[in-house]
Chains A and B, each alone.
Chain A
Amino acid sequence: MTASSSLPKYPTGGAGGVKPPAANASRSFIARNPSVLIFLLALAAFTIIVTIASEAYGVGFISTSFVKTLGKTLCLCLVALAMDLIWGYAGILSLGHMAFFALGGYMIGMWLMYARTEEIVVAALAQGGLPATPEEVTQGIATQIFGVVGSSDLPVIWSFAHSLPLQLILALAVPGLLALIFGWLAFRSRVTGVYLSILTQAMTLALALYLFQNDSGLRGNNGLSGLQNLPGLGDTSQDLVSVWFFWASALALGVGYLVLASVVSGKFGSVIRAIRDDEARVRFLGYPVEGYKLFLFTLTAIIAAIAGALYYPQAGIINPAELAPIASIYLAVWVAIGGRGRLYGAVIGAALVSLVSSWFTSGQVPSIPLGFATIHWVDWWLVLLGAAFVGVTLFAPKGIGGLFDRFQGIATPDRKGAALGPDDGSLQEREAQE
């Protein structure tokens, strides 16, 4: 850059003044992202409180079923983090991530169901006096699991179901590969925006319809059940198991948050936000935009699969309805209500909306008699959720997370329509803080 010295100087204007420090790069990761530390401490405190209040390890203030609900909520928070990364940060509105979540659940469910059935079959055959041959055991397992769909053969896709390590690998590999292939096809054709959203909806719908078939090898609309019973731990009470899964979910959420926070805080985060705002410009800077999208799509699919693999053993049952297109739309609604483009926003949105949703749909909320009609919240909750979504989109595009900006005094100047970026719902980070 020999030419630099001879370049014309832009008139600086003003009195040069004190130069800001050249970089804040030297400050530690935590110092630059205090929200990470706050989040991890809050999560740890929450975990301890729930443990103390649980029936297994504490005073029994929280019922086992509610511990499971909380554990499942943490898994939903994790998949919401993945959604926030791909939508809030990179601007790719995927409406198919719950398919990866459910696939992770199916993969782990196969092992749980197989190993559990194996125990039962072996015990039953042992009653007969003669030791059972492996063939008899396999046949017994196949009849037990697939009798309900009128089959007595173990499908090929269950070949690894006897092995936990192999099935754990599949729980990551199957959703990851699906995302890789789908993403490669979609992104190399430069499908963007609403067209990509529709494609992802089609993907999850097609997968759900396939799984609904009895010969899909995953028990059709019966799905997999009894997943809450851990093989080899038949005598262990669900009180204990529920807390263990709660811990595992909390750990996964904590690690996931930390990893994603470090991903989005560096140059990678800068690149993907740039892709969100002007992807053609990023291309002319030399970044392989399609490669970044594919990377993100696959990474978030794997995170969703991990969340699903932890969720369904707590739910106890998985069926193809879990892959319905609406499930992925809910995911987007949680992230929008919580606040896009900030990780804690996604967690808050997922936790709040899914907990409130399970409260409303549990039938505990008193109905409101209006004379001419009665509002039963089980039915009307969706209307309320829809109204909340529309309200947030119109009046508070930053979501609940936007409240934290108020507390911190980060003002968003009214630009009279001239947004800082094209996506004014996303966090306009620290603007006008000085």
Chain B
Amino acid sequence: MHCSGPAVAAFVRRTAVGGFVQGASAATFGLAMLAAVAVLAIRLCGGTVVPALWWAVLAVPIVGAGVWRALRVRVSPAVAACHLDRRLQLDGLLVSAWEGIELDAGWQRLLSERLAGARAALPTVQWGSLVPRAATASAVAALLVLWPVNGRALPTVVPGAFAAAVATQQQRLQDVFSMGLVPTAMLAELAAKLAALAMSALPDDPSAWRELDSFVEQLGREQLLASLDPTRAGGDPAGEAGRKDAIERGVEMLRTFVDDPQLPAMARSLLEQALLQVGEQPQALLADPQRLRQIVEQVAGVAKMLGLDASALGLAGADMARAQTMAKSLRELASAQGGDSARGDARSNGSTLPGESGGAGSTAERSVGHTALRLTDPVGGRATKDFVLPEGRPVPREWLPVGVQAIDPQVAPTASGPTVGGSAVGATNGGASWQLQVAPRHRASVQRFFAAGQPVGEQSPGTKERR
């Protein structure tokens, strides 16, 4: 190759780069404008647009357009030599040399001298005229995509979070299946639903997350129903028999713990209370899920006390190690019985217990417009605390069950006030069975009336009297 070869090749390359940039920027402009219009339309229709990895596919037409343009405007080396010749003011010397004519030393020297400055004569890509249009369009599209929903920044979607959540639920479903509490048909339905979720085409889409949450709720509900009604799994004698065996084993283990002289007194006392509740026939617990639940919670409480508060019990060294071992065994015992008290420990192991919802979400970031729902304190008999959505998470558009909760009835007797017309009036302890809707302007007079201590029936005329 002639000495002008590298310079000519560089010229050709630079021209190709220019063509590529031209094509790519034109395609970028077009795509960005289309995207901006599409995003705007979606936003105006109330939808949301979430950046996703598959958007990288848009780079394919851009690169394709660039390559196509580069090939289309490609200049041949001969043409490049002509341009370079004119730019270097060689008056055809470079063209002649490129065509293979033999130069004498003088011309060769002149050519070499001029070619030394060929770098400055190479064509420059017109970034200033090519890029701004595409960049502006891209910026507009990006702005529209990233514009905060409801004025808040969008969360970052963690790739793979959905798959991890599905895997967690698969494990949970397997655990449920091994426990044999849920009817087989229901389990099959749940398994099919989970498999469909695992095959979801858009795993990070809010709808997929909603489906998963729905699944979690359903599974939790089934577990809870199973714990409340062990016969529900009906038609599965093997599961019921296993359940009876488990209860008997658990009771036997409880007795072993109570007989253990190393067990702290407080723990022994609690376990003895639990044994008392078991009674003479442990199998009867299968028909009394409420009692079973209380026993399990008590055992779990002891396990927690031994595991976490061993130092508070004055244990140290080997005693503490033993206490922790016992706590572990009790936890396993409680977990085997499906008690709520073991929830905290089980949660740390990544499993979910009956009554708990929102397991699918775990701590992973999800798509916009959706959030993991978790009951903060679903303990029976107490009101659920207000669920505060995380910052930046809008309220889900669709109705979602936030959990199923069994609340014990209020059984404590309330002192009744004087009976008027068959209605009990409790004016002192707040346990009124009926209340008057009193306008604010009448409130003071009503209070004065009740402060006087006169029976309501005497002051206010009865129905018959009014007539």
A interacts with B: no
- A residues near B, CB below 8 A? none
